[in-house]
Structure 1
Amino acid sequence: MASIGTPSERAAAATGRGVKFQEAGPGRFISDPAALGLAGFALSTMTLSFINAGILPQADAPVVLGLALAYGGVVQLLAGMWAFVKNDTFAAVALSSYGAFWISFYFLQHTFIQQIPAGDRSGALALYLLCWGVFSLYMWIASFRVSIAINAVFITLWPAYVLLGLGKAIDSTPLFHIGGIFGIATAAAAWYASAAIVLNKTFVRDLLPLGELRSAQQDLATRP
């Protein structure tokens, strides 16, 4: 995310230009889709996490559904597809997956949750959240090759899923609320990363540092 893929992408980011790909057709440039995907993820996560943390009542949950489907879901999924075109594996997998998460969340809350027996809902939701925690954990490990800003997103995201899942599993409201607080931190980090990409590329200077980390491609390039 944030010009993650190849050294050529990083060079293009430094000049504020998109990355030109032969597959995209002559004269076309692909801008960095990570800023859009991160923004959709951040806004949807922030609104839901305020409810999960107990700051807003559960009765306000329907306000999240539109965001979940449109901005966190469809828009983020599209950003993930554009990241595939950009040959940015990390951003493509992350944005596409969390876009799918928000779409599944919408349909789960809007339709399918009522089909689960009331006594089994907590366990089913716990499994759903914990599995997303596993995915987020290995994405966090991969983020050590990306940037400090993206690492900050994932170092708070996987505990958020785990705490929310455990809160559902053992019916612990305090644990669930702590998971919501981690979600707020995740959203704040994602918003920062999105803002940094937009501002840095718009002003063609590092107004907000991302703390880019050494990539595997750079390691290979410097080997004797």
Structure 2
Amino acid sequence: MENKLANPAPLGLLGFGMTTILLNIHNLGFFPVSAVIISMGIFYGGLAQIIAGILSYKNGKTFAGTAFTSYGFFWLTLVGIWLFPNTGFEMAGTTPAPFFGCYLALWGIFTAFMWWGTWGGSKVQQFVFLSLTILFFVLAIEKITGIESLAPIAGGIGVICGSSAFYLAVAELLEEQKNKRVLPY
């Protein structure tokens, strides 16, 4: 009897997409960072993506496994950067904005290479990674230069990026459920 694993990509894409949308609604200036974003960052953007990544590895999908686990840990580190300064540990002080920009730039470089890995595949997947690459670099430039007017631009890019991941997740879910392609991707 074959033990077939389900496709974990929709879970990972939804964890990434929904959390990215919420954070970028904040970047657009509508809401402050709050327990909503922090909780989504830990549990859905973080843990759900890590679980999807581990299951992707188990399915022999190295690219998906690397993407989901990496971005899951991105969300956990981001929440750590926000929360650790409030712990009282001397070394866990507030991160200077330019150093935070370096953190974001490293994620942008990683994402650019991941985008390269999508070439020849799904157009929506390519768009998710391209828009995420742009998002990381716009945020990095904003933090390094202090040009705060870039935050809402990043917010718009982030909402579009997260929405495209959400769309891809739904397209994959519906295709599996209906046994035919319902939405193009």
Q: Which has the higher contact order (CA 8 A, sep 6+)?
A: 2
Question: 1:46-87 deviations in whole A, cap 9, x for unaligned?
Answer: 000011122x133x4332000000011011001000000111
Output aligned runs, 1:173-212, within 5 Å. 173-210=148-185
Q: Which runs of structure 1 show a deviation greater than 4 angstroms over 4 or more consecutive aligned residues?
A: none
Counterpart pick for 1:37 among 1, 8, 12: 12
**Which amino acid in structure 2 is aligned with residue 138 of structure 1?**
F
Query: Match for residue 18 of structure 1?
Result: none
2:86 paired with 1:109: no
- Aligned residue pair count: 181
Aligned residue in 2 for 1:3: none
Q: CA deviation at 1:113?
A: 7.3
Provide the rounded CA distance (Å) in 2 between the counterparts of 1:53 and 1:125. Answer: 19
TM-score (norm 2): 0.92
**Greater mean deviation of Cα atoms: 106-115 or 176-185:** 106-115
Q: Kindly provide the amino acid, as one letter, of the partner of residue 106 in structure 1.
A: V
Conserved? CA contact 1:156–1:182, under 8 Å:
yes
| Percent identity between the two aligned chains | 28
TM-score by length of 1: 0.77
SS of residue matched to 1:180: helix
| Contact preservation (8 Å) 2:20, 2:159 | yes
Residue equivalent to 2:56: 83
Contact conserved, 2:84 with 2:93, CA < 8 A, in 1?
A: no
Structural RMSD (CA)? 1.5
